[in-house]
Amino acid sequence: MCGIIGYVGRENSERPLEVAREALARLQYRGYDSAGIVVANELGLSFAKRAGKLAALEEQLAAHPLPLASAAIGHTRWATHGGPTDRNAHPHMSQDGSVAVVHNGILENHALLRQELIEAGVEFQSETDTEVAAHLIARAHAAIGDLAQAMRSVARRLEGAFTLLAVAADNPHLVVGARRTSPLVVGLGEGENFLGSDVAAFIARTDQALELGQDQVVTITPESVTVTDFDGRAVEPRRFTVDWDASAAVKGGFPTFMDKEIHDQPNAVRDTLLGRVSRAGRMQLDELRIDESLLRAVDKIVVIACGTASYAGQVAKYAIEHWCRIPVEVELAHEFRYRDPVVDQQTLVVAISQSGETMDTIMAIRHAREQGAKVVAVVNTMGSTIARESDAALYTHAGPEVAVASTKAFLAQIAATYLLGLYLAEARGTMFPDEVRSVMRELDAVPAKIQRVIDGEAAIRRLASEMKDATSVLFLGRHVGYPVAMEGALKLKELAYIHAEGFAAGELKHGPIALIDQGQPVFVVVPSPRGRDVLHDKVLSNIQEVRARGARTLVVAEEGDRAAAAHADTVFWVPRTPTLLAPLVSVVPLQIFACALASAKGLDVDQPRNLAKSVTVE
């Protein structure tokens, strides 16, 4: 949550403002309640900030341009403390205007600090927790005369999660950042340097980056990057190359990022699968730095994730249990963290996260590691906290996902967990190498099948426009179709603000069938008739049960499944795919449906109300 950019260059120019505006446009998915930029030059600090989407800030900048400068910091906000107003927008200035600050996270002891500052005569301008940091840093800076040292001394006093960036009026040639738990990465340029809440902030400018660790302070000048811990001891950060293509973060002719990302899905899956089988035909997951003997000793897998990523985990459960014969539990990270979960050295925790910054998941993996479990992260964002804090990271190669609702990252997560399952099955000897290769061949054929579903999107879009006044939609599935049903419902809730529920089809008779009345739309994800016949037949019975009670049945079925079509008001065909791999194709019509229905309602598909892309607070 909250997008952050920091920039410093050699000379006074328009570049700092340009870099900040471009970064905020890329980072909007992290929050869009308000935005602001402050620039620094020899004459001091000048800022602009506005409630609302970035367009409101752009209007203000057009009317009142900011001066040429050598440094800038910028922020796009997802409100926590204080509503989304102009006054609460970042940057926050100290009372004397000497320091400006932007912040991501929550300062848990802000009330106490605020009281202390009020008693010392400070008049607050906003209701935010952040403003205390601006005043504290300015006071420390006035006393010490060094912004980095001031930042360190204040960071030591702050409780909670934070990324803070500060610039000072008396030195426009540096920007200082601090991080505890919230994300911050450094971008390395030629005669300029960057700070970002994630690499999307600067991918158009550089692909060279540094990871910052917990409780570190960084100072960037045009020629240098200095990192220390909160006590001032020097730290050597790890350098990495960002392999995202900057053009992946633009709409490329599609009406929304989500439309584009749905169309990116064949590539996201293909790229995630790429290079995972050695010449000798063995699974190779180079990033997996966990000793094979440890993997062989694992007696339980716990998948932790939130939202859509947790549904990827639910799909993985069916595949990994079948292939590896290890029990797999799937836990919402926030639920896992605050009970007393049974994990130990024999437990393999798999944390799934697109952003790699979801605070609930971060807290859960920390807890799991404290209990002795090994953690493998399945993440999309390089240099992210979850990747760094896990024992191993298996990267999905979906590229930057900008739309708030996850699509291509979801498919890439499912593909990556299949790879993990096959790797474990091979290491543990629960599958023969030729069986593994046969699944890999089926997987390699999936991107073309996803493309075929996308090619048939017109029919789904027509249905979506026709249903734009629906007030409730139900989704049913069994086996791997169950998490697909839940994901279909989540997409519709978050994008179209329609009440939607995903159920295990077998659960219908235990309650949910009472919801069915005349005309109730029900999507049903039908398993392959060639897989386990029982499963297929059971779902057909479920369709008949709801149809008999007046439901309008919208069925996702495998091409040629006449039996399913016979019970459907509308059928969406998906290509033949082995049962365990089928979610990669069967979820696609549901994504397209939600996206098209939200567009038909005139809603903002990429930035649904109240949501932010990475949920960096608990």
Q: How far is the CB of 262 from ligand F6R (least distance, A)?
A: 12
**Strands in 436-562 per DSSP E:** 472-477, 499-504, 521-525, 552-558
Best CA proximity match to 497, nearest among 603, 371, 583, 360: 603
Q: How far is the CB of 614 from ligand F6R (least distance, A)?
A: 5
Contact 133, 102 (CB under 8 A): no
What is the three-class DSSP state of 217? strand
List Cβ neighbours of 554 (8 Å cut-off, separation of 6 or more): 463, 521, 522, 523, 524, 568, 569, 570, 572
Nearer to ligand F6R, 167 or 490 (CB): 490
Nearer to ligand F6R, 490 or 543 (CB): 490
Q: How far is the CB of 289 from ligand F6R (least distance, A)?
A: 22
Best CA proximity match to 262, nearest among 553, 28, 598: 598
Nearer to ligand F6R, 110 or 491 (CB): 491
Chain centroid offset of residue 504 CA:
26
Q: How far is the CB of 12 from ligand F6R (least distance, A)?
A: 38
Q: How far is the CB of 61 from ligand F6R (least distance, A)?
A: 30
Q: Distance of CA 498 to CAs 371, 467, 473, 561, Å?
A: 41, 11, 7, 30
Tokens encoding 188: 């390395």
Closest-approach residue to ligand F6R (CB): 307
Query: Which of 317, 374, 408, 613 does the annotation list as catalytic?
Result: 613
Nearer to ligand F6R, 131 or 494 (CB): 494
Query: For binding to ligand F6R (CB under 6 A), which residues are involved?
Result: 306-309, 353-355, 358, 361, 405-406, 490, 494, 614-615
Phi and psi based region of residue 31 (left: phi greater than 0; alpha: psi -120 to 50; beta: remaining): left
Nearer to ligand F6R, 192 or 357 (CB): 357
Contact 473, 523 (CB under 8 A): yes
Best CA proximity match to 195, nearest among 213, 214, 180, 209: 209
Q: How far is the CB of 459 from ligand F6R (least distance, A)?
A: 23
Q: How far is the CB of 443 from ligand F6R (least distance, A)?
A: 21
- Examine the residue annotation and report whether 595 is marked as an active-site residue of this protein: no
Best CA proximity match to 265, nearest among 416, 408, 468: 408
Length, in residues, of the chain:
618
- The alpha helices in 472-608, defined as continuous H runs, are 481-496, 533-548, 562-565, 583-586, 588-600
Nearer to ligand F6R, 364 or 425 (CB): 364
Contact 219, 243 (CB under 8 A): no
Antiparallel, parallel or unpaired: β 392-395 and 374-379 = parallel
Query: Which of 2, 306, 324, 595 does the annotation list as catalytic?
Result: 2
Tokens encoding 474: 């139900």
Q: What is the DSSP letter of 163?
A: E
Contact 135, 95 (CB under 8 A): yes
List Cβ neighbours of 205 (8 Å cut-off, separation of 6 or more): 19, 187, 189, 192, 194
- Examine the residue annotation and report whether 468 is marked as an active-site residue of this protein: no
CA–CA distance, 557 with 494 (Å, rounded to integer): 25
* Cis preceding-peptide flag for 91 (omega within 30 of 0): yes
Nearer to ligand F6R, 41 or 616 (CB): 616
Chain centroid offset of residue 548 CA:
41
CA–CA distance, 381 with 351 (Å, rounded to integer): 13
What is the three-class DSSP state of 346? coil
List Cβ neighbours of 615 (8 Å cut-off, separation of 6 or more): 1, 306, 358, 359, 360
List Cβ neighbours of 126 (8 Å cut-off, separation of 6 or more): 82, 87, 88, 92
Nearer to ligand F6R, 24 or 352 (CB): 352
CA–CA distance, 124 with 122 (Å, rounded to integer): 6
Nearer to ligand F6R, 12 or 616 (CB): 616
List Cβ neighbours of 230 (8 Å cut-off, separation of 6 or more): 152, 155, 156, 178, 215, 216, 217
Q: How far is the CB of 354 from ligand F6R (least distance, A)?
A: 3
For the annotated catalytic residues, the residue numbers are 2, 613
